[in-house]
Structure 1
Amino acid sequence: MNATADVAVIGGTGFYSFLDDPEQVSVETPYGLPSATISVGTVAGRRVAFLPRHGDHHDYPPHAIPYRANLWALRSLGVRQVLAPCAVGGLREEVAPGDIVVPDQLVDRTYRRIPSYVESGAVHLPYADPYCERLGAAVAGADPEIKAGGAMVVIEGPRFSTRAESQHYAAQGWSLINMTGHPEAPLAREMQQCYTAIALVTDMDAGVEAGQGVGQEEVFALFKANLERLKGVLTRTIESLPDPDGCTCSTWAEGMELSYGIPTPDGAGEQGEEAGA
């Protein structure tokens, strides 16, 4: 495997390609195969990897996505910064369909997923701020209409929320609802990668207004209608990405002995070594 990349884009619902004339890279991981073959190409002078979160043909529902394999595979190519577009519902009036939001908080309401690479030992991830502040600022700076801040609650899926659940989430002050943001974000942090969600609001959730509630068709349709705009935001963000060196996303484990391996493009890992050593 010779392909390497510094940056990754994980494509969400309806977002299955991003790069022109990419190299296709198959990666096997200790956690199984990733969602799809990884595409590697160049955007704005940077080597970029693209991975469709749900697979090439939406093969994986939210609760069955191979999250651990995905982040490990990207790290094995050298990826240190991850941009993660996703479709979300709106929970409060401060957001509306068509908005792009860079959340700064995450609430986990999933229950069937493996959220960590840690399977033994004492390795506790500091996670008060789940997204990379520097990466989020770069996304927000790519388009003056992007909204920054807010909490995204991640539910198990694949069903949408009941009206009562939706109203409860909104009452907590959370503004976005999604099915894939966890455990993707903490796994990226454990892989010492900078990570930010880029949330496209496709609908208002069931508790926000009267009617039949959220439907799959409207979610897919609005995401598709905004896909080229989202790709433009990603390209401009990649042009202005900050240097990840020194970011707390990569330095949090300095001095710790990790009980899992962090892969490198040459095939070596850091298992059993002091992180950062």
Structure 2
Amino acid sequence: MGDVRKIKIGIIGGSGFDDPTLFENQIEKEVVTPFGRPSDVLIEGQIKRVQCVLLARHGRKHQLQPSDVNYRANIWALKQVGCTHILATTATGSLVEEYRPGDLVILDDFIDRTWGRKCTFYDNTEGSPRGVCHLPMRPAYCERARAALYSAAKSRGYSCHETGTAVVIQGPRFSSRAESLVHRQWGGHLVNMTTVPEVVLAKEAGLSYAAVALVTDYDCWRENEKSVSVSEVLATFSKNVKKAADVIVDAVQILGADTDLQYLDDHQELVKSAIMLKD
């Protein structure tokens, strides 16, 4: 017999999921964690009979800049209400010609250029887990969840890249041209402001986490390319965000139908093996 445990999928993003008919049996839940409050209320419900929880990363009014997001509270809140998975959406700039505005990318790695963000739960905060967690980040994302996102995108016929390394900058400003060129030399495919520490914390929490990136622009590395602007990003995002939402919804169904859930135990065991405790 297959594994009969309950799947519950957290969705982080917000934009594109504001259709009131998307979630069945919606309820709003306020959650407080040892790390403070998450970005907004949690919206619990079902997507085609799979239990889901929606959280707007920047708040429903997009009031939080990338470095002001309480990533620890967001991830902990989703874990606290019983999520086994997190599927995330993120807007990104492209650092390579073939990743075009409007394309989707299933992220598989990152380069962290942020600073000052809380990147671990294991820091002696009251109510936090004990010890120090030296977590391996290869692979950075859950391969099973990534496969579900990619399968969903291809089934829809969307232009989607199976892998992509995101260079995560501090923000809220965009990159200078010199920075953009360096990011390309490092092997980055995309640039954004929110992937870290979200992916790190989700893995530290033992959750299955994957993210679909929506390419909005070419950053500023190309010759004769104008600097990226908020209006350009918003226009491309608004035009294509339904693609990302469709992929998330379909991936929810794929993951919800899975009966081999050993990979969820593997995520938990990896975290346990990475914790060092003082006697």
Q: Same fold (TM over 0.5)?
A: yes
Give the equivalent residue in structure 2 for 1:275. Answer: none
2:222 is the alignment partner of 1:212: no
1:17 deviates by: 2.5
Distance 1:65 1:226 in 2: 24
Give the equivalent residue in structure 1 for 2:267. Answer: 249
Give the secondary structure class of the aligned counterpart of 1:40. strand
Q: Percent identity?
A: 36
Q: Which amino acid aligns with 2:140?
A: P
Q: For each residue in 1:195-236, what CA deviation from the matched residue of structure 2 results, as whole angstroms up to 9, or x when unmatched?
A: 111100000011124233110111111111112222211111
Residue 255 to residue 165, structure 1, CA distance change in 2 (3 Å): closer
Q: Is the 8 A contact 1:5 1:40 kept in 2?
A: no
Q: Is the 8 A contact 1:8 1:50 kept in 2?
A: yes
Q: Is the 8 A contact 1:38 1:50 kept in 2?
A: yes
- Residues 60-139 of structure 1 aligned to structure 2 (within 5 Å): 60-119=64-123, 121-139=131-149
Distance 1:137 1:206 in 2: 31
Q: Which amino acid aligns with 2:49?
A: G
Q: Is the 8 A contact 1:11 1:17 kept in 2?
A: no
Q: For each residue in 1:39-65, what CA deviation from the matched residue of structure 2 results, as whole angstroms up to 9, or x when unmatched?
A: 011112210000000001001000110
Residue 16 to residue 258, structure 1, CA distance change in 2 (3 Å): farther
Structure 1 unaligned segments of length 5 or more: list them: 260-271, 273-277
Q: Which amino acid aligns with 2:263?
A: G
Q: Is the 8 A contact 1:24 1:40 kept in 2?
A: yes
Count of residue pairs brought into register by the alignment: 256
1:238 deviates by: 0.7
What's the RMSD between the two structures over aligned residues? 2.0
Give the secondary structure class of the aligned counterpart of 1:28. coil
Q: For each residue in 1:84-129, what CA deviation from the matched residue of structure 2 results, as whole angstroms up to 9, or x when unmatched?
A: 1000000011200000000211110001211111115332111121
Q: Is the 8 A contact 2:205 2:271 kept in 1?
A: no
Distance 1:155 1:77 in 2: 30
1:16 deviates by: 5.8
- Residues 84-233 of structure 1 aligned to structure 2 (within 5 Å): 84-119=88-123, 121-144=131-154, 145-233=159-247
Q: Is the 8 A contact 1:194 1:250 kept in 2?
A: no
**TM-score of the superposition, structure 1-length normalised?**
0.87
Give the secondary structure class of the aligned counterpart of 2:72. helix
Q: Answer 1 or 2: which has greater helix percent.
A: 2
Give the secondary structure class of the aligned counterpart of 2:73. helix
Give the equivalent residue in structure 1 for 2:23. Answer: 20
1:79 deviates by: 0.5
Residue 6 to residue 207, structure 1, CA distance change in 2 (3 Å): same
Give the equivalent residue in structure 1 for 2:52. Answer: 48
Structure 2 unaligned segments of length 5 or more: list them: 1-5, 125-130
Distance 2:133 2:116 in 1: 21
Distance 2:268 2:47 in 1: 23
Give the equivalent residue in structure 2 for 1:265. Answer: none
